[in-house]
Amino acid sequence: MLLTSAILLLLDHALASPVDVLEKRQCPSIHIFGARETTAPPGYGSSDTVVNGVIAAHPGATSEAINYPACGGQASCGGDSYSQSVAAGVAAAVSAVNSYASQCPSTQLVLVGYSQGSEIFDVALCGGGDPNQGLANSGVEFSAAAVANIKAAIFMGDPLYHTGLPYNVGTCAAGGFDARPAGFTCPNAAKIKSYCDSTDPYCCNGSNAATHQGYGAEYGSQAIAFVNSKLSATSGGGGTGTPTTSSTSTPTGGSGGGGGTVAKYVNPAPLV
């Protein structure tokens, strides 16, 4: 009887196609989405500090950058207005995250956004729309399956920042240039940490643009620790689906942080 079972098990493995085996290996336990700030070149921008830190803490984790204009009217990023860029970014984030959650239903997902990159994740995860940028849909735009798989979200220098929200971290007691309205609540607040200091002119009402550049150095370790606290310790495959080609990529160029780094911070022109 035992011999028969062993033979059947070996036969089952032998009949499994190479594609089946490959599919099972292409869904990691953890996948990270990074979204860059305005005028940063394609890649992770300043979100790379946290993206790389999470990869270093979880060997086998994968990551991808949200592909969107990250623009505010500057010629260097194609000339899209800030509103056009945010709308494109929200759509790109929703498409990428929802698709990944569908293809890899057991993979734990992490969102890491910086500045405008935070704004697009904030809109998609928290709902409420973005009226100042012409986005009227007030619902959570990620699918229910994606929301369930998103274990942690990091927002750094989020223009939607509004004082008093339970996930805020930092010294800002006001709001960003695109602040959420008074009384706003996010249904997924427990998954988020949002970092902003009072001297930041983009996520708060300060006048020191250099503050906006420093969240990776100031809060990066804290943000990585928060993400790690939300992730399970499981290792190995996260499902049997096949993610898109880009979803299995890790950061390229440079060194350190486990996956390397890309797209270092570029001083943005004022986000208007």
pLDDT digits (tens, 9 = 90+) for 108-140: 999 999 999 999 999 999 999 999 999 999 999
pLDDT of residue 11: 44
Q: Is 130 a catalytic residue?
A: no
For residue 262, pLDDT beyond 90: no
Question: Does residue 60 or residue 4 have the better pLDDT?
Answer: 60
115, 118, 194, 247: the catalytic one is 115
Query: Comparing C-alpha atoms, which of 255, 158, 223, 150 is closest to residue 197?
Result: 158
pLDDT of residue 235: 45
Q: Cβ distance 261 to 51 under 8 Å?
A: no
Mean pLDDT over residues 153-178, rounded? 98
The sign of the dihedral angle between the CA atoms of 19, 105, 141, 189 is negative
Q: Is 197 a catalytic residue?
A: no
pLDDT digits (tens, 9 = 90+) for 11-55: 454 444 433 333 444 899 999 999 999 999 999 999 999 999 999
Q: Is 212 a catalytic residue?
A: yes
Q: Give Cα separations from 132 to 87, 99, 240, 272 (angstroms).
A: 11, 28, 41, 11
The rounded mean pLDDT for the chain is 84
Mean pLDDT over residues 177-186, rounded? 97
pLDDT digits (tens, 9 = 90+) for 199-240: 999 999 999 999 999 999 999 999 999 999 999 865 445 555
For residue 8, pLDDT beyond 80: no
pLDDT digits (tens, 9 = 90+) for 41-92: 999 999 999 999 999 999 999 999 999 999 999 999 999 999 999 999 999 9
31, 58, 162, 212: the catalytic one is 212
80, 130, 178, 200: the catalytic one is 200
